[in-house]
Structure 1
Amino acid sequence: MENTERPTSGPTDHDEPTFVGGPSLQKIQYLLKTRDDTARFVGLALLKSVLDNSPALRQDEESITALWATIPSTFLDRLLRTGMGDKGENKDAKEMLEVGVSVIHTFAKLLPDAAKAGSKFYNRIPLLVTCLTHTSGETEELILQTVLSLVSHPAGSAMFNTLEDLSPLTELAPSRPMVLDILTYAWLQQQSNPKTAWDKQRLGKKIDKTMAALVVSFKGADVVPLLAFLADLLRKLDREIVPHNPQWLSPVVAYIRSLVTSRPTQDGRAAYTNLCATLLHVYPIQAPPLLFNNAPSTLSRTPGTSTKPSDSNPFSFLLVSLMLVDLRSSFPTLLEQLNSPTYPALSTRLTSAFDTVSNFISYLIRSLDSPSSSTLSLSPSNLLTLRKTLSETMADTISYLRDRYDASVAGAYGLDPSARTGPAHMDEEHMTVTWDSKADTVETDGLILSAIRALALWLREDDNDMLRKESAALMDLFIDLYRSSITSAGKANHLDFRQAVLVALEGITAVEEGRDSLLEHDGWKVLSDDLLSVLASTSTSNNETEAGRGVEIIRVLLPIVESEIPYAKEEWTDLVTTVAAWDVPDSQQANELVEFQVAVMQLVAGIVEHSHTSVRRRLKNTIGDLKRSAEELKEKKVGKVGDDGLTESLEEVLDTLSGFKMDAS
């Protein structure tokens, strides 16, 4: 290292701040303030030794901050560059690099956040990353720990994301999983920084490029850390940052296929299960064919694994079967683990399994509906086995939901929940009962939502009356969750169960027991009130999501009306009266909203049609108002949409109401 100018005068004792530790620190400060690099290096080495052996000094933030201020940043850079320049052949250069890295690492741990906010720290990130190609062992570990600490702050992540070449990190990732933590913190911190919100597109391109390099780096290595990293990161990235059609998606799915067929460990099962659900959520168009078709893997296998699928069973069959086995084997002990430290990870894995199964069911139905364009090829034997296994898993799901709901609402036998004085807790002195979750209620547990979503889809699509009758026993749970979703809308940690419950009810009400159970648990009032709320809100806004939910409600209620014997219940006419007073909006609206409004007319016309003659007489004026509203809807909306199906449906409503008006007169 080159010796530069000698100091013309050194600092005096009078100029020195007082440090814990006495004169030795004053000497170190003197050496660091000189302009001789050799003296500075000696001072830095002494400082490292003092910090390593002085616990009191390490806790003195004021002294640590003052010491950091005495270290010239340019000198630290020269140390790092000198250590890199000799490619590790010069022992002195290597020692300089190690000392420089060690000192930066120590101060990164000891300095308060306010002292680390300046550029003196974050401007070292580029050199530290470059140093990774010239280090190994403990020094390499210290660099990674330092960079991880720095990118956890906005300024550090901003500096990190200016780096064009991340190959020192991506090449190291298979052997150093901490690299993946660095990338996660750097990218998530950057996307949440309001000062860089405008730069999200550039960040997305950087992520895409880095992901591609990571996928290549993990070829032939243990891919579990990579899959777990992707599963966690992709769900947290903003939509505008996530790469839209990445080239690395297919190789990642190939890694999943390789892992699934290789008898993975528990961590491996969690990684591929969570990533499958994440990919299906983030890439709903590209991911299903990649995961569920039966194309062979295109990547070399992971060491010690085999990519050869079963001779008789395609990959999609194996993947879904393994997840169903995981679900069924987890249910028996799930309640007693609610307050276990392992429950969040377990719940996440099971939630992902349910989400993957839901996506598979949807993909399977689409494939059966369009066999000519489907890439999913399952033999009749595979389909029969899957149907049996799915039905068994859903039966177990019903049992678990029943137990979970009973425990949270009614408590254990002989113990009323009103006896509780506060939230559930668990410590050495007071052990809570196993069913009482200290964190999540049924309404806020994502696992419950995913379970109901998968169950609902299967109830609707599979013609299994026995399973539908079993599900009718969950009607109190479904209605309570639907009601709580209405009252809790907009609150923190709020989960909206309404869509999933409506799909479930569509299947359950196909059997008489399901319809009776819905009416018994006040389901008509809950759903009809929500329907009227949707009608009111969509009259003043183009909320297609709300309108879609309204159509789903009608799909549940209309069959109940049509199957009610001998007549529709008189209290249902309250819905007719309210709709009759509805004013058709004058503004132009989306087709989905017009479809919903026509469906509302079909429902109330059905109620009138199935009502007793005496009831229709009392509704004479109301029927006239309904007819005028239907005519106005046809003129203002349906006629302009140009949808023959909607026009025909509304004509049937008008014909029905016209006939009843004549009867009533």
Structure 2
Amino acid sequence: METSPPNPSDPTTLEKITTLLKTKKDDTSRFVGLALLKSVLDNSSGLRSDPAIITQLWRSISPKFLDRLLRSGGGKGDDNAKNMLSLAVSVLHTFAVLLPEEEKGDERAVDRIEGLVEALVPSTGETTPLILQTLLTLVSLPPGALKFDNLADLSPLTEIAPSHPMTLDILFYAWLTVMPSKLSSPSPSTTSDFALKISTTIRSLTSSFSNTDAVTLLTFLAHFLRHIPPLILSHLTPPDPCPPPVWVMSSISHIHALCLARPTPAARSAYTILSASLVQANYSYAKILFGPTAIPSDEQKPSSYLLLTLLLIDIRSTLPSLLTKLNSPSYPVDALRVSSALELIPAWVSTVLGNVDEDEENSLATLPIPPDLLLKLRTQITETLSLALEYIRDRWDFSVSGVQGLDPAYRSKEAELPSGEKRLTLTWDSSYSAVGDGGGGAGGRPDIVVASALKALAAWTSEDDESPLRRELSGIVDVLAELYGASSCCCCCCCCCSSDSSCTVASLSPASPAQHRVVEMGGTTETKPEEEEGGNSEGREGGNATAAQSAARELRSRSQPLDPRPVILACLQVLTYTSSLEPDAGGISLLNEHNIFFIISNDMLNILTRCAEYLSSSSSSSSSENRRPPEPHDTLASSLEYAPQPLSFLRTLLQMHADAGFQVPEVWLDFATKFAGWGGAGTAIADCPRKEMGAMVVPLLLETVADSLHLCADLLEKLPPGVRKRYVHTATALSGIGRWVVRQCQGATDNGKTRGEAEDAVQRLQGAGS
């Protein structure tokens, strides 16, 4: 005769279960109560959706009793012990899904993490996946992540990682969620100790994956490295002269092995993204990745040749169809893989040229690749980047130009289908990232494929003097001009917002609760919007990722946003090379046609304006009521470190413009007239607190102002004498700024060179104004 299950709707049933669970010193009664509780929860959807009852039942369970059940599975061949472990895990998994967020972060839940990890050793069958799912839910919350970080032994997790990819999800979310607390710790050793713990765990993982293709591990590392803030990443991948960590060398060995094994699409994506992630983390790893290691089956071909060949083939086969996938679910995956492959081209170029530069006399002997293979790669790279140029052109036209004659107002019109789903009737741009029109998702920065393609084009065309790509690059000057202008405005706005405390607080605030779910992605975890299912999360197999996503946003907010201006400027510089070598190429006329000088000089004026505001806000003599918070040192220092590049480009462009016989357009003189009214010269740096000013900012700021004065002198000197007379007052005001720089440099030995540059600029400006 079968026993009927307890009736969940009967109040006496819940009361009986609660009484059994609270029985003291009677584990048998507690076990019976736990079994009845599991049965009731499995058969009552109404009970599962009542957080008050769920919380009450959870608090009725003895934590120590659960710990004893988790430890009971260690006996070999003891079926009763296995059943007790299975029941404890099932109950914990159920409550991990049903409990409210605040209860999941309570000690009653997170203190079970250590027991769950230890229970992985004796667990079998369906118990192991339930343990992993429970852990994933708990470590995605800050208290659980902190508890997980305190565990001394993670070997039960690392040993089963090859057969259970969710293990890597647990590590990913636990580390990502706990990183903000590590960064905010007052102890300087906290981040280094945390990085050492991560490095040790990854080393154990590489040992566990030693007899596999390690695609799952490489995918995990590829995405994890991209989420780590610079401070922790610098400890995890220490720069030269420190040797690379063991796990880095093992990962690169796995990458080379995958290239020899006819890689699957998943393997191709894994080694491409990880290679780019390693190079971005530490550029010196490119020498190992593209080193002269030979292929076992062919002593004449290094593995770097095969790796780069496969990357170029992947780019050429993917780019033609990428535009058709702009709004498909596969676009982010394909775009990340292609952009990573493009990012590796400059790394390969610098590795090859670095070997040549180190020993010019024996350059052929020091090349990491034979000359005949190098010529083959040159042809393949040129063909690939020519295709990338076409992609940039088409991508921009799709996004900005659209179909000729069609009203742009209809491009993003939504249509509602009978199912209630809304779709864009016409789409030129991607919903994931705009191409870079100064708004939308990109915020003025190009999407990753366009940015990486421009970086590869700049690196290759700068070194290959005979590359046909130099002429082809002139076909996207309008794109470069628009992207630079939008990026300049974006970087200026980002820096202003970064000094606004309200913006900072808003960017770090947690998301609304329970809006995302965890989806298994072959060893990594992707977060997707939670569908509206009427309340509970009954069907979830992972954990709530909301806290981890909040942590990811916070970590990203600590890093500087991608600034494409140096890459765009390098591409424009190539056009000036082309014009100097081939006067008939029309490069100068093309740059003038698209107002390149005006766009870049405006960017410099933005930087100089921020310098004046920084000096004003840091001055102790300014009114405390009107003082606005000074711009963070690192953001301004980053702009000042970049400033010599546009200034040098503008001076080169101005000289080539004059050599070609063109007269300086008076609109270019806007830079000099606006800079003449620069407000920073009214502030004495000595009056600004040194702690507030920052050690890096002062010398960079004075050097930038001095270089800008030389650009103004170049502009005035190239004017006809009659026109130059109209700018006498401008020259006088600029000379005053130069004398201010000289005064600020007095007594500062570090600024001796800057002082000399400023004195030279004053003499030139006085001569131009006389």
Within a 5 Å distance, the mapping from 1:379-528 to structure 2 comes to 379-420=370-411, 422=413, 430=423, 432-433=425-426, 435-443=428-436, 444=442, 445-464=447-466, 466-488=468-490, 489-490=493-494, 495-510=562-577, 511=579, 512-528=585-601
Q: Kindly state the Cα deviation for residue 41 of structure 1 after the two structures are TM-superposed.
A: 1.7
Q: Kindly state the Cα deviation for residue 398 of structure 1 after the two structures are TM-superposed.
A: 1.3
Out of 665, 677, 680, the position equivalent to 1:569 is 665
Q: CA separation of 1:133/1:446 partners in 2, compared to 1, >3 Å: closer, same or farther? A: same
Q: Kindly state the Cα deviation for residue 530 of structure 1 after the two structures are TM-superposed.
A: 1.6
Q: CA separation of 1:639/1:402 partners in 2, compared to 1, >3 Å: closer, same or farther? A: farther
> Whose Rg is larger?
1
Give yes or no for contact 1:485–1:495 (8 Å, CA) kept in 2. Answer: no
Aligned to 1:230: 221
SS, match of residue 334 in structure 1 = helix
Out of 530, 544, 549, the position equivalent to 2:603 is 530
Q: CA separation of 1:566/1:641 partners in 2, compared to 1, >3 Å: closer, same or farther? A: farther
Deviations 1:228-265 (A, max 9, x none): 11111122123333324333222222122212222211
Aligned to 1:260: 259
**Equivalent-residue separation in structure 1 for 2:180 and 2:738 (angstroms):** 49
> Which letter maps to 1:333?
S
Moved more, 200-209 or 224-233: 200-209
Q: Kindly state the Cα deviation for residue 174 of structure 1 after the two structures are TM-superposed.
A: 1.1
**Equivalent-residue separation in structure 1 for 2:155 and 2:609 (angstroms):** 56
Q: Kindly state the Cα deviation for residue 605 of structure 1 after the two structures are TM-superposed.
A: 3.0
Deviations 1:95-125 (A, max 9, x none): 1111111221122222222332321111111
> Which letter maps to 1:28?
I
**Mind listing any 5+ residue stretches in structure 2 that lack a counterpart?**
1-6, 239-244, 437-441, 498-506, 508-556, 580-584, 616-632, 687-696
Q: CA separation of 1:554/1:639 partners in 2, compared to 1, >3 Å: closer, same or farther? A: farther
State the Cα RMSD in Å: 3.2
Moved more, 648-657 or 494-503: 648-657
Q: Kindly state the Cα deviation for residue 158 of structure 1 after the two structures are TM-superposed.
A: 1.4
1:133 corresponds to 2:121 = yes
Within a 5 Å distance, the mapping from 1:295-374 to structure 2 comes to 295=293, 308=296, 310-371=298-359
Q: Kindly state the Cα deviation for residue 379 of structure 1 after the two structures are TM-superposed.
A: 2.3
**Equivalent-residue separation in structure 2 for 1:222 and 1:422 (angstroms):** 47
Q: Kindly state the Cα deviation for residue 472 of structure 1 after the two structures are TM-superposed.
A: 1.9
Q: CA separation of 1:342/1:451 partners in 2, compared to 1, >3 Å: closer, same or farther? A: same
Aligned to 1:301: none
**Equivalent-residue separation in structure 2 for 1:647 and 1:392 (angstroms):** 48
**Mind listing any 5+ residue stretches in structure 1 that lack a counterpart?**
1-17, 297-306
**Equivalent-residue separation in structure 2 for 1:79 and 1:62 (angstroms):** 26
SS, match of residue 392 in structure 2 = helix
Within a 5 Å distance, the mapping from 1:617-628 to structure 2 comes to 617-620=725-728, 622-623=730-731
Moved more, 27-36 or 445-454: 27-36
**Equivalent-residue separation in structure 1 for 2:423 and 2:195 (angstroms):** 49
Q: CA separation of 1:275/1:465 partners in 2, compared to 1, >3 Å: closer, same or farther? A: closer
1:610 corresponds to 2:718 = yes
Q: Kindly state the Cα deviation for residue 618 of structure 1 after the two structures are TM-superposed.
A: 3.6
Q: Kindly state the Cα deviation for residue 592 of structure 1 after the two structures are TM-superposed.
A: 4.4
Aligned to 2:708: 600
* Same amino acid, percent of matched pairs: 37
SS, match of residue 515 in structure 1 = helix
Give yes or no for contact 2:385–2:457 (8 Å, CA) kept in 1. Answer: yes
> Which letter maps to 1:574?
D
Q: CA separation of 1:52/1:626 partners in 2, compared to 1, >3 Å: closer, same or farther? A: closer
> Which letter maps to 1:550?
A
Aligned to 1:9: none
Q: CA separation of 1:412/1:601 partners in 2, compared to 1, >3 Å: closer, same or farther? A: same
Out of 71, 76, 99, the position equivalent to 2:87 is 99
Give yes or no for contact 1:423–1:438 (8 Å, CA) kept in 2. Answer: no
Q: Kindly state the Cα deviation for residue 507 of structure 1 after the two structures are TM-superposed.
A: 1.0
**Equivalent-residue separation in structure 2 for 1:648 and 1:461 (angstroms):** 33
Give yes or no for contact 1:569–1:611 (8 Å, CA) kept in 2. Answer: no
Q: CA separation of 1:579/1:446 partners in 2, compared to 1, >3 Å: closer, same or farther? A: same
Aligned to 1:299: none
- More RCO (CA 8 Å, sep 6+): 2
Moved more, 21-30 or 549-558: 21-30
> Which letter maps to 1:31?
L
Moved more, 379-388 or 143-152: 379-388
SS, match of residue 161 in structure 2 = coil
Q: Give the ranges of 4+ consecutive aligned residues of structure 1 lying more than 6 Å apart after TM superposition.
A: 372-375, 423-429, 491-494, 642-652
SS, match of residue 367 in structure 1 = helix
Moved more, 158-167 or 23-32: 23-32
**Equivalent-residue separation in structure 2 for 1:370 and 1:241 (angstroms):** 31
Aligned to 2:644: 551
**Equivalent-residue separation in structure 2 for 1:48 and 1:92 (angstroms):** 17
**Equivalent-residue separation in structure 2 for 1:465 and 1:626 (angstroms):** 42
SS, match of residue 240 in structure 1 = helix
Aligned to 2:510: none
> Which letter maps to 1:34?
T
> Which letter maps to 1:601?
L
1:189 corresponds to 2:180 = no
Give yes or no for contact 1:19–1:63 (8 Å, CA) kept in 2. Answer: no
Deviations 1:43-65 (A, max 9, x none): 22232233333333333333322
**Equivalent-residue separation in structure 1 for 2:304 and 2:452 (angstroms):** 20
Give yes or no for contact 2:411–2:425 (8 Å, CA) kept in 1. Answer: no
Out of 42, 47, 55, the position equivalent to 1:52 is 42
> Which letter maps to 2:409?
S
SS, match of residue 313 in structure 1 = strand
Aligned to 1:284: 283
Out of 9, 15, 23, the position equivalent to 1:34 is 23
Moved more, 334-343 or 541-550: 541-550
Q: CA separation of 1:392/1:487 partners in 2, compared to 1, >3 Å: closer, same or farther? A: same
Q: Kindly state the Cα deviation for residue 614 of structure 1 after the two structures are TM-superposed.
A: 2.3
Q: CA separation of 1:81/1:406 partners in 2, compared to 1, >3 Å: closer, same or farther? A: same
Within a 5 Å distance, the mapping from 1:650-665 to structure 2 comes to none
Within a 5 Å distance, the mapping from 1:624-639 to structure 2 comes to 633=741, 637=745
Q: CA separation of 1:568/1:174 partners in 2, compared to 1, >3 Å: closer, same or farther? A: same
Q: CA separation of 1:380/1:606 partners in 2, compared to 1, >3 Å: closer, same or farther? A: farther
Q: CA separation of 1:641/1:349 partners in 2, compared to 1, >3 Å: closer, same or farther? A: farther
What count of residue pairs does the alignment treat as equivalent?
A: 632
Aligned to 1:303: none
Q: Kindly state the Cα deviation for residue 635 of structure 1 after the two structures are TM-superposed.
A: 7.0
